[in-house]
Each structure stands twice: as C-alpha cells, then as structure tokens.
C-alpha cells in the first residue's frame, strides 16, 4: 500500500510504501449507479444533503448557458471552476432542468459521505476502508501506477475517463467523455472491478490525515480515530497531469463528510 512515486503530492501523505494485512472482503464491481440510487430513494424517501442544503458544486463548463441564472455567485477560491448551483442534486446533476436520461448507468454524484453511509446501511453493507479500496483497485498488481500497469494509455488506448486538453478551460474528450461515463465504459482490472480510476472520486470510510499510513498500523487499518475530512480515492473525469494526477492507485484526497460535487461517488463492501 502507498507509494514513493516522485511526482506524487507530499502533503497528501501517499507514502511510504508499506505492507498491510486485510481480512477477506467483497467489493462492488461498479460504483453505485443512478439507477441503483433511485431504487434506494424510492424505497426510503431519503433526502440527500445537497437537496437539504439547496445547492451543490458543479464544474463550470457543465453548466448550460441557459441555466447560468442558478449560479449562486460563489466559487471555491483555490479552485474557481467549482460553482455553487442552486438545485443541483443527484437527479439533476447540472441543476434545474437537467436530468438522468441516458445516465442511468453512470455513477451517482452530488452524494456526500453521509449520504453514502446511509445508502450502505440500507443495502446491508458499508464503505470500504482506504486499504480495502486500494487493494481492490490494484487488482493483484504490485506497486503499479494504475490498475492495469504503469502506462496511462497502453498501446495508445484510453483505459479510464480523465481530462484531456487544457485544464480547466478545454476538455477535448479524446477518451469519449467530457463528464461522467457509464460505469462499464472501460475494461475492468484483474479482479473484474470497473471504474477504479477516473470517472468519479469514491468515498472511503477513513478519516483523512497525511500521517494515515503511519497511524493506522498493518492489520486491517481503518485510519485515524478522528478528523475533519474523509478519504477519497480514484480520481475523476477532471484529473489531468498538469493539475491533479491523482488518478493513480495510491493517490488520495479528502473532503468534509457533508460535501457534494458533480465528481464524487462511492461503492460498497461486505
């Protein structure tokens, strides 16, 4: 687990490389899709945090020109391409007027860590620990950058949904997608798991700390006992080598448990 990759992010605490022992577990083949999340909402009447807050973060280029009036007028200072959009929710990903038509098999977005935990409990499962997620993503390979090896595009073929072009101004969508894509759009890893890299970030159970690897221990690590943000793994359709090359297996980031965006999702384990 972890990496000593020279182009990683020291502040993220990606390393050092270290051995971890895990109890057997099962993990979803795919991230939770819009179709599956809709079943959960219909069965429970659950209202997500984005719905309760009345807004969520949407990447600027995905906001239809006709819907710019829903822009709250606030962006993230360190990442001004994130815009607060009134009415952006899991079933209206770009705000009022948008819908899930044709995106039933895309990963659900605008779900917080708290939302993901509620879904997991409803389905009789839980969120993966960071160690479980990373083990699964590696697909049996040892210290490779990606779930399929060390080359981002083996034989010139795209293997994941990430950004191509000039971030954050122009996405050429050479991989076929400028936003989320179906969860099975690209080949699985050696464990038969899809979308472990790119497409959407995935929530993990752990609290985040740059010292996580040193604090957790070697046997079934669960991260720090407390914290302010939860771990996210896998990268998203917005990751690009010029800004965020966190589409590597060992890369990690975090967000507060109530945060929602158009590029964060999750999958569950048993």
Is pLDDT above 70 for 236? yes
Assigned CATH class of 10-44+104-265:
alpha beta
- Give residue-wise pLDDT tens across range 86-124: 999 999 999 999 999 999 999 999 999 999 999 999 999
pTM over 0.85: yes
- Give residue-wise pLDDT tens across range 7-46: 888 899 999 999 999 999 999 999 999 999 999 999 999 9
Q: In sequence order, which residues have a C-beta less than 8 Å from that of residue 122 and are 6 or more positions away?
A: 40, 43, 44, 46
Mean per-residue pLDDT, 122-139: 98
How far is 176 from 37, CA to CA, in rounded Å?
Answer: 25
pLDDT of residue 71: 64
Window from 4-18, 127-141, 150-164 with minimum mean pLDDT: 4-18
Is pLDDT above 60 for 69? no
pLDDT of residue 100: 98
Mean per-residue pLDDT, 220-231: 96
- 3-class DSSP state of 76: strand
Contact 57, 84 (CB under 8 A): yes
What is the β-pairing status of strands 253-255 and 264-265?
unpaired
3-state secondary structure 176-191: CCCCCCCCCCCCCCCC
pLDDT-derived band at 125, boundaries 50, 70, 90: very high
Is pLDDT above 80 for 70? no
Please name the residue that has the structure tokens 């000039």: 166
Residues in the chain: 270
């Amino acid at each position: 687990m972890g990496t000593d990759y020279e182009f990683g992010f020291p502040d993220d605490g990606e390393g050092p490389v270290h051995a971890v022992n895990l109890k057997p577990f099962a993990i979803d083949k795919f991230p939770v899709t819009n179709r599956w999340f809709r079943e959960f909402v219909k069965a429970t009447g659950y209202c997500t945090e984005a719905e309760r807050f009345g807004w969520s973060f949407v990447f600027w280029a995905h906001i239809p020109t006709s819907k710019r009036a829903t822009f709250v007028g606030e962006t993230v200072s360190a990442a001004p391409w994130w815009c607060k959009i009134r009415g952006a929710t899991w079933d209206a990903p770009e705000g009022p007027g948008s819908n899930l038509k044709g995106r039933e098999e895309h990963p659900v977005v605008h779900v917080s860590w708290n939302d993901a935990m509620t879904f997991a409990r409803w389905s009789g499962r839980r969120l993966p620990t960071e160690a479980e997620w990373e083990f699964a993503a590696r697909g049996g390979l040892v210290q490779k950058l990606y779930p399929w090896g060390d080359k981002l595009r083996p034989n010139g073929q795209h293997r994941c949904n990430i950004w191509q072009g000039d971030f954050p101004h122009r996405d050429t969508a050479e991989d076929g997608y400028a936003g989320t894509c179906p969860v099975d759009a690209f080949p699985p890893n050696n464990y038969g798991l899809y979308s472990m890299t790119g497409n959407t970030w995935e929530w993990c159970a752990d609290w985040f700390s740059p010292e996580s690897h040193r604090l957790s221990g070697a046997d079934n690590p669960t991260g720090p006992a407390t914290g302010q943000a939860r771990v996210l793994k896998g990268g998203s359709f917005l990751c690009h080598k010029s800004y965020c090359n966190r589409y590597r297996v060992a890369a990690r980031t975090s967000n507060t448990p109530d945060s929602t965006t158009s590029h964060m999702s999750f999958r569950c384990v048993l």
